[in-house]
Amino acid sequence: RSGRQVQLGIHVRRGDEDKVDHAMACLKRAMRWDEEAFGLEYDLDIFNIAAVSDFNMGAMENKGLNIFNTALVLARPDTATDADYQRIDRVIAHEYFHNWTGDRVTCRDWFQLSLKEGLTVFRDQEYGAATTDAALSRIDDVKMLRARQFAEDAGPLAHPVRPAAYRKIDNFYTATVYEKGAEVVRMIRTIIGHEAFRRGFDRYIARNDNSAATIEDFVAAMREESGFDFSQFMRWYEQAGTPQLRFEGEYDAAARRYTLTLRQMTAPTPGQAHKEPFLIPVAMGLIGPDGAELEARLEGEADAHRGTRVLLLRAAEQRFVFEEVAAPPVPSLLRGFSAPVKLSGHDAAGLAHLAAHDTDGFSRWEAGQEYATRALLDAIAALQRGEAVATDPALVAAMAAALDLAQEAPALAARILSLPGKDVLADRMAVIDPDAIHEALETTRAAIGRSLRDRFTALCGAEDPSAPFSLDPASMGRRALGNVALAYLMAADPAAGLDAAQRRFETAPTMTGRLGALALLADTATPARDAALAAFHARWRGDALVSDKWFRIQAMAAAPDTLDRVEALTRHADFDLRNPNRFRALVQAFGAGNQRWFHDASGRGYALVARMIGEVDRVNRQIAARCIDVFASWQRFDPARQMLMRGALDALLADPALSANAREMAERARAGS
């Protein structure tokens, strides 16, 4: 912006020079965006990135010389998936943004970690939304938050965004400090608006430049520019746990009045038995019976208007009265996911209405996912009663409607067609039943696949080998859709699906298509799987990052022989527990990503992971400590699994040589919540 020349460098091993173009393009885009969106220019005339293959974190923002894990730099269409490309973009931007939020303004002490991490994640999310597709990128960020942070906040490792105590700060590089921290910053902006937020941000930087700041300094700058009193809001930094938000609506046709009652409740977390109400910004609108947004006048407003407004819920229970409402509305609440809470209160008809008509893209997707989640929870309950699963015809119809979007909005179609993950379903169950979750998903996928079989068949061969490689949302969307369609086809018709998967594996021009097919093949105990895995290994064993994918896919497989195979892979010549990426690809991926086999009733999965944690602890205590969280959910399972999971933690704790890092995590996980 000022005309300063900056020399940019990315340093990689000889041989990897052809895999840095994407990272360099991302770096330039991030530098430009920070000037435009936040008025922040780079302050030196040199900026370097060094990529290393053995690194515990994703990257580190050392001033002027960012250190990166190779996994977050190197990409070529035949070696990296679209998800890898997107992750690289976000992390390159994240570390670059730390130059101001982290380096020029740093943290006074480690309790303030979220001051730089929550804020910088927020900034990289905003960058992602502005440079790709805002609704899609919000969907992906919220999915991640729910999968990782909500689980953390619901168990014994729950801690506030600003932890009150720690033994090893290494153990607090968590989804709560990072992702929930970013949501807290986002709520501040939602409450005071974009303009006041930007002025507050400028004031924060100007005031604290070249010094070490606190979360209070950040919030004070926001208060001074907006006049808003954040005292109650500060509870988001001090109280752990995900609030439950419940609503009730009542329409009085004669008075044309709609009364919305909101209630919040937050369960106790370790060390915090009692919670005070949070200040929750609820971005919302009212959708009429015809699907159009309704006009309304909220008590205190001068005129009626339609569109999104932000309600501030302060009390445990609060009523909001809307006048001049012409028809009974379905409320669209938490638009854009305006607060990190769990919402309930919609009936199935309301969800279906929002999924079809909400004017907010995120909320349309959200309503569809919630509808599917409930259908799957019903299926799980039926299986547990020993009954057959009847797939809801409305769910099939919603998936057919999503397929209608395949041409014009393939990325959104792929996200709508992706059934809720096992973690989402587990989160909603009083006692997690991994076998029923797996079966309900498979049965439902097969039923949808059979109903829409021809349309899925047409989509799974869709990658055109002659088309130039592109990362625009539509191209990535088509690749994602191809993989989702293949999953439905395999569930509906295993023989035809296997053929299609082999074809996609052999002919797809990108790693996204090839790996998508390989992951589905890996779920089957078939000669086709063995042949594909062998071919992939032979082709890529010299490339560490692609070999990680080979390990990860097998670690996450649903195939019945998975436990034996993962055991064998821990002794494979290419497995090396001194390499953090390789350990994560096999052990962490298995523990965190293979709900079915990690939680096998025999306890073999638990024993395997506990043994590997013990081994890796001798060479890398940070990695060992981080992996322990796979046992933290033990209270959510049946008594037999609980005993086995606690036993695994006890076995670790019984080792006198266990590192302080791993001990802190094992003790916290063992203590329960």
The interface partner of residue 57, options being Zn ion, ligand ASP, none and the CB cut-off 5 to 8 Å by kind, is ligand ASP
Q: How far is the CB of 182 from ligand ASP (least distance, A)?
A: 11
Residues that bind ligand ASP (CB under 6 A): 57, 59-61, 94-95, 117
182 or 592: CB nearest ligand ASP: 182
Identify residues 119-148 at the interface with Zn ion (CB under 5 A): 120
181 or 477: CB nearest ligand ASP: 181
Q: Which residues of 267-289 are buried (b: 16+ CB within 10 A; e: fewer)?
A: eebbebeebebbbbbbbbbbbbe
Instruction: Name beta bridge partners: 409.
Output: none
| Other C-beta atoms lying within 10 Å of the C-beta of residue 317 | 13
Nearest to 505 by CA among 418, 524, 399, 419: 524
> Residues with Cβ < 8 Å from 142, sequence gap 6 or more?
337, 362, 366
Q: How far is the CB of 445 from ligand ASP (least distance, A)?
A: 36
Kindly determine how many residues on this chain lie close enough to bind Zn ion according to the rule CB under 5 A: 2
Contact 670, 649 (CB under 8 A): yes
Q: Could you give the CA distance from residue 142 to residue 174 in angstroms, rounded to a whole number?
A: 16
CA angle 434, 645, 611 (to 5 degrees): 110
Environment class of 527 (CB within 10 Å of its CB; exposed 0-12, middle 13-18, buried 19+): exposed
Contact 279, 313 (CB under 8 A): yes
Q: Could you give the CA distance from residue 219 to residue 192 in angstroms, rounded to a whole number?
A: 12
Contact 618, 578 (CB under 8 A): no
Q: Could you give the CA distance from residue 114 to residue 185 in angstroms, rounded to a whole number?
A: 10
- If DSSP codes are grouped into helix, strand and coil, which group holds residue 188? helix
The interface partner of residue 673, options being Zn ion, ligand ASP, none and the CB cut-off 5 to 8 Å by kind, is none
Q: Could you give the CA distance from residue 160 to residue 146 in angstroms, rounded to a whole number?
A: 16
Phi-psi region of 100 (alpha: psi -120 to 50; beta: other; left: phi over 0): alpha
DSSP letter at 307 equals S
The interface partner of residue 60, options being Zn ion, ligand ASP, none and the CB cut-off 5 to 8 Å by kind, is ligand ASP
94 or 138: CB nearest ligand ASP: 94
Cα-Cα-Cα-Cα torsion 334, 340, 341, 346, nearest 10 degrees, comes to 30
Q: How far is the CB of 163 from ligand ASP (least distance, A)?
A: 15
178 or 590: CB nearest Zn ion: 178
Q: How far is the CB of 61 from ligand ASP (least distance, A)?
A: 6
Q: How far is the CB of 340 from ligand ASP (least distance, A)?
A: 19
The interface partner of residue 266, options being Zn ion, ligand ASP, none and the CB cut-off 5 to 8 Å by kind, is none
Instruction: Name beta bridge partners: 296.
Output: 305
117 or 523: CB nearest Zn ion: 117
Q: Which two tokens stand for residue 1?
A: 């912006």
Q: How far is the CB of 26 from Zn ion (least distance, A)?
A: 16
Options 117-125, 315-323, 596-604, 664-672: segment touching Zn ion (CB under 5 A): 117-125
Options 114-122, 137-145, 467-475, 490-498: segment touching Zn ion (CB under 5 A): 114-122
Q: Is 179 a catalytic residue?
A: no
Q: Which helix (H) or strand (E) holds 8?
A: strand 7-11
Q: Could you give the CA distance from residue 23 to residue 33 in angstroms, rounded to a whole number?
A: 15
The catalytic position among 17, 36, 95, 183 is 95
120 or 595: CB nearest Zn ion: 120
93 or 280: CB nearest ligand ASP: 93
Options 109-117, 239-247, 517-525, 642-650: segment touching Zn ion (CB under 5 A): 109-117
Q: How far is the CB of 661 from Zn ion (least distance, A)?
A: 20
Q: How far is the CB of 22 from ligand ASP (least distance, A)?
A: 19
DSSP per-residue string spanning 550-576: HHHHHHT---TTHHHHHHHHTTSTT--
117 or 463: CB nearest Zn ion: 117
Q: Name the residue whose CB lies closest to ligand ASP.
A: 57
Dihedrals phi, psi of 55, to nearest 5 degrees? -150, 130
Q: Give the residue numbers annotated as catalytic, written as ranges.
A: 95
Interface with Zn ion (CB under 5 A): 117, 120
